[in-house]
Amino acid sequence: MKATVIVTPKLSVLDPQGVAVREAIRHHDLAGVRSVRIGKIMEIESESDIPEEKLHELCRDLLSNPVIEDYRFEIESPAA
Amino acid sequence: MKAAIVRFPGSNCDQDCRHALRDVFGVETDYVWHKDTSVEGYDLIVLPGGFSYGDYLRCGAIAKTSPIMRSVRDAAASGTLVLGICNGFQVLCEAGLLPGALIRNRSLHFICEHRWLRVENSDTPFTSASREGNLLHLPIAHGEGNYRVDPETLETMRARRQIVLRYCDVTGEPTDPANPNGSLENIAGICNQARNVFGLMPHPERACDLLLGSEDGKVIFESILSRVARGGSPLPPVAFRDG
């Protein structure tokens, strides 16, 4: 199977990288750009299916830090 | 007194910590490898600064899964003193032994300079040799020292006096210009509820010799030594002990 995990900084947490990139975008004559947030994409390939519950556990305990980040995932192709 | 310094791949302040503990304070000090499974029998466990696992994923995120961390958790739960400096602080937060998290400095720069810190709570095993309001001049060296925590937890931390050190100006005011990295409320160091686990971004181990510009870091180690000399690790009395 293949799962794609997307981790982004929580809306309530300042994202210094995102702010810097937003400023750079504004220099491209796009003054209307309000916000940029920078996260991570992790592509996980597995021989066998990972149950959704297990994926949530993995995201909570390792792939994201719930204090500062949100996550979501998409299961693209089941193994079966 | 016996101290253990845990080395992860990428730790780089381990020798500085040993120098401070062994050469300055005469403490018997061992290195413990992250793949070891026991830190039993030590009075102090130090998680040193550095870049454990190259800061991959998040600072401290991989280190928290190291085999040694199970024993560090057990030791912390039984009242052993645990000191996390810089990357060690990040590891303690990731491991859930301290609340909150450390994100990129608001300037996005790696900052390496001496800063003023104010002791906010001297009623901890790590600051008892100081007085509340004392100023310490300590070096910082980090790119991810911007402390974050949710408002409810912060409120609890305030009530339980878990905020131990704040960045401040030379007069002791925790102003915004004195805040090097954007940390919430200028927070530079915190302890857990039981006060036997302490994490801080500044490097006290690099401030134990005037040749290095300051010896204000000694007060942290003097506090620890005096706690251990007074009979080791029973948890200090605190009003709250739930979770």
ipTM: 0.85
Residue B52: which pLDDT band, with cuts at 50, 70 and 90?
Answer: very high
Minimum-distance CB partner of A16 among B99, B104, B150? B104
Burial of B193 (0-12, 13-18, 19+ CB in 10 A): buried
Task: Look at residue B231 in the predicted model and tell me its pLDDT.
Answer: 76
Element containing residue A22 per DSSP (H, E):
helix A16-26
> For B213, how many CA atoms within 13 A lie in the half-sphere containing its CB?
13
Task: Look at residue A14 in the predicted model and tell me its pLDDT.
Answer: 86
Q: Contact B146/A9, CB-based, under 8 Å?
A: no
Contacts of B100 in chain A (CB under 8 A): 67
Task: Look at residue B232 in the predicted model and tell me its pLDDT.
Answer: 59
Using alpha carbons, list the distances in angstroms from residue B232 to B44, B110, B121: 9, 37, 20
Contacts of B65 in chain A (CB under 8 A): 62
Q: Catalytic one among B17, B86, B168, B208?
A: B86
**B163-185: average pLDDT:** 98
Using alpha carbons, list the distances in angstroms from residue B104 to B16, B148, B181, B214, B239: 24, 10, 8, 27, 34
**B208-228: average pLDDT:** 96
pLDDT in tens, A13-34: 889 999 999 999 999 999 899 9
Least confident stretch, B2-16, B85-99, B218-232:
B218-232
Task: Look at residue B224 in the predicted model and tell me its pLDDT.
Answer: 97
Element containing residue B135 per DSSP (H, E):
strand B135-142
Contacts of B107 in chain A (CB under 8 A): 16
Query: Most B CBs within 10 Å: which of A17, A37, A68, A71, as the mutation test of the B interface?
Result: A68
pLDDT above 60 for B65: yes
Torsion of CA B50, B55, B61, B63, to 10 degrees: -50
Q: How many CB pairs under 8 A join A and B?
A: 38
pLDDT above 50 for A62: yes
* B199 neighbors B14 (Cβ within 8 angstroms): no
pLDDT above 90 for A46: yes
Token pair, residue B124, equals 């901890």
pLDDT above 90 for B241: no
**B215-219: average pLDDT:** 98
Starting from the edge strand earliest in sequence, which strands make up the sheet with B81-85, in order?
Answer: B28-33, B2-7, B44-47, B81-85, B197-200, B187-191, B163-168, B111-119, B135-142
Residue B35: which pLDDT band, with cuts at 50, 70 and 90?
Answer: very high
pLDDT above 80 for B1: yes
**B205-223: average pLDDT:** 96
Q: Average pLDDT of chain A?
A: 93
Query: Most A CBs within 10 Å: which of B55, B104, B144, B179, as the mutation test of the A interface?
Result: B104
Q: Residue B185: which of B199, B174, B171, B169 has the closest Cα? A: B174
